[in-house]
Amino acid sequence: MKNVVRFALAAAAVVVVAGCQMTSGGGSAAGTGPTARADLKPTANNITSGWVQFAQRGDRVLVTAEVRGLKPSSEHGFHVHDKGDCSSPDAMSAGGHFNPGNKPHAHHSKDERHAGDMPNLKADDKGIARYSFETNLLSIKGVANAVVGRSVVVHRDPDDYTSQPAGNSGPRLACGVVSG
């Protein structure tokens, strides 16, 4: 009987230790680290709104979003901008793309790009875009590439990923400041 109790206690200890490792924010699918969020508000004369969530997963950040009020079946530039300021009617107060490494604007798959360069939003036939993207060029908080205190902007046109300095994605439809 003593061996059965010892085995049960040992098995329980393994389960507890494994559970702690899964939820400590070490990047596993079961657990995440710190999170941050931006609520997107429309710029002047626009109706686009939504939310963007950032979740730290080890050395990567998962960006998820839902954006409404877009033209049906359209594509839109979507970026993290340098300043956490959406106060101007056209959201130009958000500044340019977040670019701590002074890199050129480029496709989100390239290492040499702005930290704030992300894939375009793609709206469905109802004008709703649901989005998920993972990047190693952003972090939630801290010194390097922190997204908290910056802004997220939805543009009218798709990002062409080549035009400098911002991909020719046109006016800003919505803006939200990232808080965490």
Active-site residue identified among 76, 79, 113, 150: 79
Q: Which of 82, 114, 150, 159 is catalytic?
A: 114
In angstroms, the CA 171 to CA 179 distance is 24
Active-site annotation holds for 156: no
**Residue 108 falls in the annotated catalytic set:** no
**CA distance linking residue 151 with residue 43, whole number of Å:** 13
In the residue annotation, 76 being an active-site residue is answered as no
Q: Is 114 part of the annotated catalytic residue set?
A: yes
113 annotated active-site: no
- Active-site annotation holder among 76, 108, 113, 117: 117
DSSP class of 48: -
Establish whether 155 is a catalytic residue: yes
Torsion sign (Cα): 99, 103, 107, 111: negative
Residue 81 annotated as catalytic:
yes
97 is catalytic: yes
CA 19 distance to own-chain centroid? 27
Of 76, 108, 113, 172, catalytic: 172
User: Which positions are catalytic?
Assistant: 79, 81, 97, 105, 114, 117, 155, 172
